[in-house]
Amino acid sequence: MTNFDHQYQQILKNIMENGYAEKNERTGHVCKSLPGQTMQFDLSEGFPILTLRKIPLKLFVAEQVWFLTGKKDLSFLQQFTRIWDDFAEDDNTIASAYGFRWRKHFGRDQVGMLMELLKKDPTSRHGVVLMWDPADDGLGGKAKKNVPCPYTFTVQIIGGKLCLHLIIRSNDMMLGNPHDVAGFALLAYIFAEKLGVPVGILTVSISNAHIYDIHFDQANEIISREILHPEIKFKCPKNAFNRAERGDTELVQEIFRQLKDQYSPQESLGRMKIVL
């Protein structure tokens, strides 16, 4: 499997050269977009983190630990990042928080049941977890500040290894994608450690991969950069799943330190504004 930087650069190049330039009515920005983009990584060969530019490592680590707590209140996450604050309701919660939907929203603990299913039957193909609520999200449903972009994932053990397939309905390739890939790679490692199996293939399928007009220059800079073929290895801490459920802040720091010690990104592109 080719590394993250190579696949990422190729998708950006394809979008900038062949993407459909259309004005998005909700944001008022022009996007260049392509449908049906896919990235795939063999996690046993390394951890997929973008090094063509610097990304904040602690952000995606803290997010995944927060997700696994099953909470929608932002207090835990705000110890590490304020990235979700713009989407918060007046009570400091995220109405469509991924972890809350994984663990409580649909009347059952999807992630807990996923772990039980794969322990009992490692050959099961029923390991589907949803973040999207068809009774409430999209299609003229209840207005809210945020609806899930990654909306479902499946987990299967194939060839003795844990494989995770993430599906994203809409992906900002300059800001969202690097964090989504790294975050769900980390989730796969945590699940694999819990189940006592090695990590396998992470597949990320994107229904609408896009770049906003305000990021075109920075996208072209990324496309022009030489790929240095970095290698980042990761060993999941023991009992990471159980520690994440408890909201263990030291787990965030432990994972962050391990990745930071190996992370050598290229020059920053400067601050990039999030399009809300």
Which CATH number do you get for residue 88?
A: 3.30.572.10
Domain-located, residue 9: yes
Task: List 38's β-bridge partners, or say none.
Answer: 205
- Residue 157 in any domain: the answer is yes
Cα gap 249→240, rounded to integer Å:
11
Characterize the bridge pairing of strands 171-172 and 150-158. Answer: unpaired
129 DSSP β-pair partners: 153
**Whole-number Å distance between alpha carbons of 48 and 201:** 11
What is the per-residue pLDDT across 177-219, written as a single tens digit (0 to 9) for each?
A: 999 999 999 999 999 999 999 999 999 999 999 999 999 999 9
Whether residue 230 is contained in a domain is answered as no
Does residue 252 lie in a domain region?
yes
Counting the structural domains of the chain, the total is 1
DSSP secondary structure string for all residues of 1-29: ---HHHHHHHHHHHHHHH-EEEE-TTT--
For residue 128, being part of any structural domain is answered with yes
Q: Is 149 a catalytic residue?
A: yes
CA dist 51 to 4, 115, 176, 228, Å? Answer: 9, 32, 15, 8
Q: Which range marks the domain in which residue 77 is found?
A: 4-225+237-258
Q: How does pLDDT run across 6-22, given as a tens digit for each residue?
A: 999 999 999 999 999 99
pTM, entire model: 0.96
Residue 273 lies in a domain: no
C-alpha to C-alpha distance for 92 and 94, rounded to whole angstroms: 7
Beta strands in the chain (DSSP E): 20-23, 30-42, 128-130, 150-158, 161-168, 171-172, 199-212
Tell me what pLDDT residue 2 has: 53
Per-residue pLDDT tens digits of the chain, which is 276 residues long: 458 999 999 999 999 999 999 998 888 999 999 999 999 999 999 999 999 999 999 999 999 999 999 999 999 999 999 989 988 999 999 989 999 999 999 999 999 999 999 999 999 999 999 999 999 898 987 777 789 999 999 999 999 999 999 999 999 999 999 999 999 999 999 999 999 999 999 999 999 999 999 999 999 999 999 998 778 999 999 999 999 999 999 999 999 999 999 999 999 998 888 887
Instruction: Please give the pLDDT value at position 1.
Output: 41
Give domain status of residue 270, yes or no.
no
Is residue 275 situated within a structural domain?
Answer: no
CA–CA gap between residue 244 and residue 246 (Å, rounded): 5
Catalytic choice (31, 149, 163, 236): 149
